[in-house]
Structure 1
Amino acid sequence: MIKNIFKCGIVSLICISIFYGFSSILDDDEWKVDFFDDFETFDHNNWQDQRIWVNNEKQCYVPDNQYNTREVSDGTLKIKLINIEDNIVCDNMDKYGNQHPKTPYVAGRIASKNRKEFIKGKWTARLRIHGESQASMFPAWWILGAQNNEPPVQEPNENICWPLTGSGEIDIFEHHGDFGDGHYTTGAIKSLGECDKGDWWSLRTSVNTSLSDFNEYSVEWQDSDLVYRLNGEEVYRNEGLGDNYPEPMFAILNFAKITDTPMKGEWVMEVDWVKHEFRN
């Protein structure tokens, strides 16, 4: 009888150990949130305004919610591009010291640079675009290597040229209005091994969706792959390329105007929340 009780006890201990060991494995495989912003306010501990001139864009990025270009209201962030119908002097500079010309277009651009930066993991934003797509629209949700040497340069190690390692780029959501409504592109920028030499197209795809609906757009590191998801469903994968982006990365939300096509009024990208997750 005692032997049977002893055997039952041993079996129970083994079962418990196996159960908790399996549970631990499952826990290690689950995503855990280490950054979440639901935009009840504009939190300067999470974001800073970024003023920069890239891609020959036609707008001027302005700080401090000037012209209401990064409005926070009703629990969401509205990143806007606005035609103020008056050419203003723009202080945006490119990394070579060239100043943006006067323009009537102003916009918001925020970055988590030197605020919230993470190595790998999973980045997600829930967002939508107001109204119908228009030519020249270029809203984006993306991440960039934290050693990028473009403004603002705030740390000694921010000295690496795009898109070299340390300054790599992964585009989670970009909409190019010149190519019509109902789609976005997602994917990584392939570094060609030289400063300012990147392949924009070979590592990305176009995905159809309703841009005016709130959708969750994400990228995650899965082993050595980069996996892109729309509302939790995989839509694209950069196989074997995740380790090409080993650096801490920060997030960017911006609305650009990419061509000379005129626009009136305002364009709006509304962001419900942004989060980063990690696995043990």
Structure 2
Amino acid sequence: MGTAFDRAIKGDSGLTGVLTRGSELFFWAQAESSPDLHPSESPGMFRKTYIEITNVCDLSCSFCPKSSRPANMMSAHLFDHILSEITGISKLLHFHVVGEPLNHPEVGEFLRMCGDRGFRVNLVTNGRALQRRGKELLFQPALRNVSVSLQSVGPEAVDELLQLLESVRRFHVLARDAQGPEISLRLWALKPHGDQERLATTLHLISSVFGIERQRIDRALGQLSHEHRTVLVLHEFEEMEYKQIAKTMNCSIGTVMSRLFYARRKLAALLADLKKPDRQ
């Protein structure tokens, strides 16, 4: 694999960036250098692979790094080449670096290509195009999770946030009925001591739009044992694999699987009668 990666780094494949950080692998077209990343030499198995299928975004958020790269949409040929390069060394892909994946006209085709090769995909989006392109994400076996960033909405734009959350809720109903991808909400660039009011407002709006009794969910999680709560968080939120969780918790993989099973079952029982989103 080293030779193939070397060719990619040198630009023979049309890429100018194949970089690693810990157990994560990054692919860029028209990449800029980054001081905390380094070229991969002997990659082994990567937990996540990030693929920037486009660097085009319809927003200009303050927390995103600014780029001088020309606007670019990754070609299907280059995307297929990347999948060929990482087959056998990575299984979980993230469509996320700088651009908005739903701006790419071939995102549906890219997901189909991933499914054909046995990859699973997490897609990170600002959510603005869900109403227009959400149906393309349904019935895609490769698509594991759609993560919507709420950080792109300013702290004072309550009406805009409500509109975004309502769009996400409608997509959630479609995805649930189609047994499609999981939906998650991201609010990740908050200051630890300066954004409590914004966080409280956001959680209140989420609870209102989705009909979630947040305090009851907190209480339900608190009723899980430490072991069950920990394994649930590591697997569902940190996206860690069984082997990594077993090492972190100093137990066998079988114990991890058993704890996760019982944690999910107990949490589902505790929350069984929570209000569901209306179908429409």
Name the TM tier (shorter chain).
under 0.3
Of structures 1 and 2, the larger Rg is shown by 1
Structure of greater relative contact order (alpha carbons < 8 Å, 6+ residues apart) = 1
**TM-score, structure 1 length as denominator?**
0.25
**TM-score, structure 2 length as denominator?**
0.25
Greater share of strand: 1
